[in-house]
Amino acid sequence: MRRPRINAPVKILAVVAVFIALVLIIVLASNHFLSKNKTTETSANPTETEGSDKNSTEKKKSPEEVKAEQKTELLQKADLLAAGYDYDGAIAALQSFEGYAAEADITGKIADYEQIKGTLVSFPVEEVQHVFYHSLIVDPSKAFANHETSKPAQGMNQWMTTVEEFNKITQDMYDKGYVLVSIHDLVTEQKSADGSVSMEKGTIMLPPGKKAFVLSQDDLSYYHSYTGYGIAAKLIVDENGKPVNEYYDASGNLLTGAYDVVPLLDQFIEEHPDAAYHGARGIIALTGYNGILGYRTDESYKTQPADLNADKKQWLKDNPDFDLDKERADAKKVADAMKAEGWEFASHTWGHLHIDKVSLETLKTDSNKWKDNVETIVGDTDVIIFAFGADLGGPGKYNEGDPKVALMESMGFRIFCNVDGNPTAGPYFASHYMRMPRRNLDGYRIYMNSIGKENNLSDLFDAKEVLDKSRPPVKPLT
């Protein structure tokens, strides 16, 4: 029997219908799969959208919450200022809070500060003591090795203080009521219309029984000659913007931390904010011939003159990638971080000169080198701390006709410091400058006091208790 014939148009329409049906099935199946997959992903991260919204909600605080946080921060800031005897600063900080007069806790604090401020007394600036150190010895076994025959080791024993001794002295002086002040707290500088400068005694207000002192550190260059003697290598800036040391231990491992005066004192004051007046720090007396702060910032490393010494030549050989601009930039970064903490800088002459023995021309050349190689990094200063404890005259007023005095004044120096171990010696104030003696807290002075050969440290600390037991007998200074 013959099948009926399907005509062509109908056949084509049937094929098209089947194709369309297949496409629809595929599309529907795909949508189902995608929808299911999206649901699965959402289930795996159910809080993704909610979390974003939640975080957004958490970040947005009410005006009341923001104000409460601001108040808490201000109260903490004020407490820190007050701990450093800056009651005016603490009160001003609290009064900057909008509507402070209606805040009982703020007005209560202000009343407390005003009451304590009224009990402060003016400490006689003529009695302010000035102590100083060189770089600290971290590893006495390296510093004092072969001290019987080695001149450098004997020098380390005489001039340097160990970290252990420094920490004990700092604690002892704190316990005796000593408070660190800035050397500029001792003077008030006035400039007249014609540009002349006059100086008057400053005012230091402390609680009864507290005693003001100034601290300085000499030669913070980390000279090449210190290498191998258990002393820090340089200062750097840590991740918190604070100055700390790099130090190589006996095994050659590079360590970072508090291994010298600057970070150790910063650390102590952070723990004892009442140890410093208005957040004061010490003064760093810098030479320049080996660079500063552990960086080889002097132009001689680049120009390499004929008289370049062996230490510099060896260092350049060991550091073929030396870049003067980078060294200076890195040193400036450290200097800026130190200044932000309250540290100040002074000249120690570029070449560590014995100022009363060199010629005027030598002093002029040296002064220009200090300005070009040191001042450009640390900024200008009105303080010069004479090397070797020298000076430009005896006690009292300088000879104004002395050309060296005139040169120092023309360079902007108004504060002049020598060395005098006499505990009764104090600052001398002239009309336009101040002279201040310093007391060396070094190995020689500590040792001599510890064995009873001298008695000029007992007002500061007990030398017998402070003396590092690893320190060998110290030979007399020569």
CATH code where residue 187 lies: 3.20.20.370
10 within domain boundaries:
no
The alpha carbon of 275 is separated from its chain's Cα centroid by a whole number of angstroms, namely 16
25 within domain boundaries:
no
User: Binning pLDDT at 50, 70 and 90, where does residue 430 land?
Assistant: very high
Q: Give the chain's domain count.
A: 2
Instruction: Please tell me the distance from the alpha carbon of residue 233 to that of residue 296, in angstroms, as a whole number.
Output: 12
Instruction: Please tell me the distance from the alpha carbon of residue 315 to that of residue 312, in angstroms, as a whole number.
Output: 5
pLDDT tens sequence across 194-210: 878 889 999 999 999 99
The pLDDT value given to residue 31: 53
Residues 236 and 258 grouped into a single domain: yes
Instruction: Please tell me the distance from the alpha carbon of residue 130 to that of residue 436, in angstroms, as a whole number.
Output: 8
Residues 179 and 92 grouped into a single domain: no
Average of pLDDT values for 159-169?
98
Instruction: Please tell me the distance from the alpha carbon of residue 447 to that of residue 45, in angstroms, as a whole number.
Output: 71
- Which residues, at least 6 apart from 4, have a Cβ–Cβ distance to it below 8 Å? none
- Which residues, at least 6 apart from 147, have a Cβ–Cβ distance to it below 8 Å? 153, 154, 156, 157, 472
Residues 186 and 81 grouped into a single domain: no
Residues 329 and 272 grouped into a single domain: yes
- Which residues, at least 6 apart from 19, have a Cβ–Cβ distance to it below 8 Å? none
108 within domain boundaries:
yes
User: Among 74, 92, 119, where does a domain finish?
Assistant: 119
21 within domain boundaries:
no
371 within domain boundaries:
yes
Instruction: Please tell me the distance from the alpha carbon of residue 366 to that of residue 352, in angstroms, as a whole number.
Output: 9
114 within domain boundaries:
yes
446 within domain boundaries:
yes
Residue range of the domain that includes 72: 63-119
Measured in degrees and rounded to the nearest 5, phi and psi for residue 409 equal -70, -35
246 within domain boundaries:
yes
Mean pLDDT of the chain: 90
Residues 111 and 195 grouped into a single domain: no
pLDDT tens sequence across 102-132: 999 999 999 999 999 999 999 999 999 999 9
User: Among 119, 141, 157, where does a domain finish?
Assistant: 119
SS3 category, 368: helix
Asked if the model's pLDDT at residue 237 lies above 60, the reply is yes
Instruction: Please tell me the distance from the alpha carbon of residue 47 to that of residue 32, in angstroms, as a whole number.
Output: 23
Residues 248 and 139 grouped into a single domain: yes
Residues 192 and 108 grouped into a single domain: no
User: Among 103, 119, 135, where does a domain finish?
Assistant: 119
Residues 280 and 308 grouped into a single domain: yes
pLDDT tens sequence across 18-67: 455 554 555 455 554 444 444 444 444 444 444 445 455 557 888 888 88
Instruction: Please tell me the distance from the alpha carbon of residue 162 to that of residue 152, in angstroms, as a whole number.
Output: 16
- Which residues, at least 6 apart from 383, have a Cβ–Cβ distance to it below 8 Å? 183, 283, 344, 345, 346, 347, 413, 414, 415, 417
Residues 347 and 426 grouped into a single domain: yes
User: Binning pLDDT at 50, 70 and 90, where does residue 170 land?
Assistant: very high
The pLDDT value given to residue 61: 86
Listed residue (239, 99, 165, 43) closest to 447, CA to CA:
165
